[in-house]
Amino acid sequence: MSSIKKLTQKRLFLPIFSMILVMLINVVYDIATGSAPLGFFMISIKNGVLYGRLIDILNRGSEIAILAIGMTLVVSASGGTDISVGSVMSLYAGVCCMILAGYGNVNVQQYAHPLLVGIGAGLLVTLICGMFNGFLVAYMNIQPMVATLILWSAGRAVGLLLCNSQIVYVRVPSFQKLGGYCGIIPTPIIVAAVCVAIASIVLRYTALGTYIQSVGINKKASRIAGFNSSKIILMCYAICGLCAGIAGMVATSRIYSADTNNIGLNMELDAILSVALGGNSLGGGKFSLAGSIIGAYTIQAITTTLYALGVSSAQAPVFKAIVVIIIVVIQAEPAKAFFKKLTKKSGKEAARA
DSSP 8-state symbol, 41: G
- The Cβ of residue 292 has, within 10 Å, a number of other Cβ atoms equal to 31
Residue pLDDT tens, the chain, 353 long: 566 667 667 778 778 888 888 888 888 888 888 888 888 889 999 888 999 989 999 999 999 999 999 999 999 999 999 999 999 999 999 999 999 998 888 899 999 999 999 999 999 999 999 999 999 999 999 999 999 999 999 999 999 999 988 999 999 999 999 999 999 999 999 999 999 999 999 999 999 999 999 999 888 888 887 888 999 999 999 999 999 999 999 999 999 999 999 999 889 989 998 998 888 888 888 899 999 999 999 999 988 888 888 888 778 778 777 776 777 677 666 776 776 777 666 656 655 65
Nearby residues of 99 by Cβ (< 8 Å), 6 or more positions away: 112, 113, 117, 118, 121, 122
pLDDT at 167: 92
pLDDT at 322: 78
Least Cα distance to 303 among 289, 291, 285, 319 occurs for 319
Return d(Cα 244, Cα 89) in angstroms, integer: 5
DSSP 136-188: HHHTS---HHHHHHHHHHHHHHHHHHHTTTSPEEE--TTTTGGGSEETTEEHH
pLDDT at 40: 85
Return d(Cα 164, Cα 306) in angstroms, integer: 35
Return d(Cα 315, Cα 311) in angstroms, integer: 6
pLDDT at 281: 84
Return d(Cα 94, Cα 149) in angstroms, integer: 19
pLDDT at 47: 87
For the chain, give every domain's residue range.
Answer: 2-339
258: phi then psi, degrees, rounded to nearest 5: -105, 85
Return d(Cα 36, Cα 133) in angstroms, integer: 48
pLDDT at 277: 86
pLDDT at 346: 61
pLDDT at 130: 97
pLDDT at 37: 82
Least Cα distance to 301 among 109, 69, 27 occurs for 27
DSSP run (H or E) holding 257:
strand 257-258
CATH fold group of domain 2-339? ABC transporter involved in vitamin B12 uptake, BtuC (1.10.3470)
| HSE-up of residue 79 (Cα within 13 Å, Cβ side) | 14
